Amino acid sequence: MSSIYDKSSQKITSTIIPQKADGSVDYINIRTYAFNASNNVRNEINGQRTIPDIKTIPANKETPEYYYPRTFPNGTFDVGKSQPVSASNPNAKYLGEVFIPTTATQLVPTYGTKKPEPDSNGNYVSTNTQNDSAYGLHYSPGKTQGCIAFGSQVEANGFADLSDKAIASGGKSKLSVGE
């Protein structure tokens, strides 16, 4: 399955290109699906987060540091098998019923392992950078910390089902993200 997320249109378009038994493309059964999605993040850039009070999820297993969340990075990434989110998960209200992981990572400025304090001018000064990970897709009724949020739980479940079927059949699921 090949999916494209266009940040400006806030849509994910997914195309499934099935193969025949002989390995050739089954042109008659190519299907395209559209999903409403957004990538609204509260951070200092848009003035919606004044303190770097969220911790990274480092790709290289370093100690997490405080940072301002960033939008989903541009590029092409592998999509993994969806993971159900238990109602007992403390983040369930932000993640919806299913989380769909990707291989997306990006370098972000960080502010240390202890909750940062502003300098004498009231500014927070970055002290390091980390390769942040755990960018995925899920339903969220509000903003995310960098993930792409589907417009509804039904859309998140539908995308997860299509992507999981592509992976289970020996295929791949890819996501391309751009402005």
Q: Which domain holds residue 80?
A: 2-178
Number of domains observed in the structure of the chain? 1
pLDDT mean over 155-170: 96
pLDDT at 113: 97
Pairwise CA distance, residues 162 & 160, whole Å: 6
Above 90 in pLDDT, residue 142?
no
Residue 154: closest CA among 13, 35, 16: 35
Residue 120 scores a pLDDT above 90? yes
What's the pTM?
Answer: 0.93
| Mean pLDDT of the residues in the chain | 96
Residue 141 and residue 152 in contact, taking contact as beta carbons nearer than 8 Å: no
What is the 8-class DSSP label of residue 158?
H
Q: Give residue-wise pLDDT tens across range 52-103.
A: 999 999 999 899 999 999 999 999 999 999 999 999 999 888 999 999 999 9
CA dist 36 and 123 (Å) reads 36
Contact (Cβ atoms closer than 8 angstroms) between residue 43 and residue 49: yes
Encode 55-87: b = buried (16+ Cβ within 10 Å), e = exposed. bbbbbeeeeebbbbbbbbbeeebebbebeebee
